[in-house]
Amino acid sequence: MKLRRTIHAKLVLDRKGKHEAVEREYWAWQRQLQGNDEQLYSVTKQQADRFKRRIRKQNGCGVKPKEYPLILRRDCVKIQHQNDSVFKWWIRVPVYPRSIWLPIQFPREQEPLLRYDVRECKLIRDSDQWFVNMTFQKEARLKHKYATILPVDMGIRKLATTIENGKPRFYGKEVRQTRGNYFRLRRLVRKGGIIKKWKHREHEIVKHQLHSITRRIVNKAKQINAIIAIGDLKDIRRERKGRSFNRRLSTQPFHLFKQYLTYKANWEGIRVISVVEAYTSQTCSRCGMRGQRVAGRFLCRNCGLVVDADANGAWNIAKRAHGMLHETGAVLTPPITLAECEP
């Protein structure tokens, strides 16, 4: 399995000449895409022609008059480590008439990605700042033997509920708060321009929160050597249970959460399996009988179990995952029993 991850690195244009060279190349790229014949680095000019043909093939029309990221051919980009410099990492960027070396900054935890193959590089402008997006690819091999199951139940009250070391853990309270705060702000302001700006900021905040949550879950699965089992919420948005419920349901980023969790887990060699989630929060994880869910709590009238409904759902996901592992080719070693999947 081939997986890709991207480093969003900031260019440090500490000299006027380098800043002018990058800016000149970027705007020459934009004019080249609009049909002008500009002085560009030779391979960058070829990239512009390929990009225009691709846009025409996809959209059946010309290139729209807007800013596009400057595509840097990967064989012209080189990254070096410098111990005797103020800046630790440097990148060679092709600009007309010759390439220049520029210092870059990115999170330290992303440094291990630099040992993989570079697949794509893009130069991006954001106001008066410049960034390079570098995409790296590696061949990932998913493990087939695991010690336990880490179930993940997605819901409205808590975005994700897991069972870790026999106890429930809840994630996503901050996501719900962010969505609710921006919803109230939009109702108060009711101005299109401001709402559009806030929508972008809300989206970025939620994305950051999802990255943090999924990273913590994957790190836990890696620590205990667990296969991740996540509930499949297919067709859940078709349910109609009132205006307020539908609004809260539609604001939960279930798909994005699952997408982030899957690629982060696969990158670490951890398999993620989908489990049918129907009635998991309404079925007793102790006796298997249908119970009652009221205001986030589950009550079983058969055995008397009272537990958080999302935690109950996570226990049931673990049980269902245990029963379907042989279909995925994964095994538990040592095997866990169904009795161990109880609150």
Q: Of 55-69, 184-198, 207-221, 315-329, which has the strongest mean pLDDT?
A: 207-221
Of 117, 139, 161, which residue sits at a domain end? 139
Amino acid at the residue 70: L
- Range in 76-80, 94-98, 248-252 the model is least confident about: 248-252
The predicted pLDDT at position 160 comes to 93
pLDDT tens sequence across 113-142: 998 988 889 999 988 899 999 999 998 889
Specify whether 180 is located in the same domain as 261: yes
Confidence (pTM): 0.81
Cα torsion for 280, 285, 288, 293, to the nearest 10°? -60
Specify whether 111 is located in the same domain as 239: no
Specify whether 188 is located in the same domain as 331: yes
- Range in 37-41, 55-59, 83-87, 313-317 the model is least confident about: 55-59
Q: How many domains does the chain have?
A: 2
Per-residue pLDDT, averaged over 67-82, amounts to: 92
| E strand residue ranges, the chain | 2-11, 70-72, 78-81, 89-93, 100-105, 117-126, 129-139, 145-146, 148-154, 160-164, 167-171, 226-232, 272-276, 292-294, 297-299, 306-308, 331-332
Specify whether 101 is located in the same domain as 245: no
Residue reference for tokens 């092709």: 94
Of 139, 160, 184, which residue sits at a domain end? 139
Specify whether 272 is located in the same domain as 316: yes
Long-range pairs of 43-51 with CB within 8 A, sequence gap ≥ 24: 43/73, 43/76, 43/94, 44/70, 44/71, 44/72, 44/73, 44/76, 44/94, 44/96, 46/73, 47/71, 47/72, 47/73
Of 73, 108, 139, which residue sits at a domain end? 139
Task: Say whether pLDDT at 172 is over 50.
Answer: yes
Specify whether 107 is located in the same domain as 227: no
Per-residue pLDDT, averaged over 7-18, amounts to: 92
> Rounded CA gap, 236 and 278, in Å?
9
The percent of residues in the chain predicted with pLDDT above 90, rounded, is 48
Specify whether 88 is located in the same domain as 167: no
Specify whether 185 is located in the same domain as 334: yes
Task: Say whether pLDDT at 94 is over 90.
Answer: yes
Average pLDDT score over the chain: 86
Specify whether 224 is located in the same domain as 81: no
Specify whether 75 is located in the same domain as 152: no
Specify whether 135 is located in the same domain as 153: no
Domain that holds residue 65: 2-139
Task: Say whether pLDDT at 187 is over 70.
Answer: yes
Cα torsion for 85, 87, 92, 98, to the nearest 10°? -70
Q: Of 165-169, 230-234, 257-261, which has the strongest mean pLDDT?
A: 257-261
Specify whether 202 is located in the same domain as 72: no
In three-state secondary structure terms, 96 is: coil
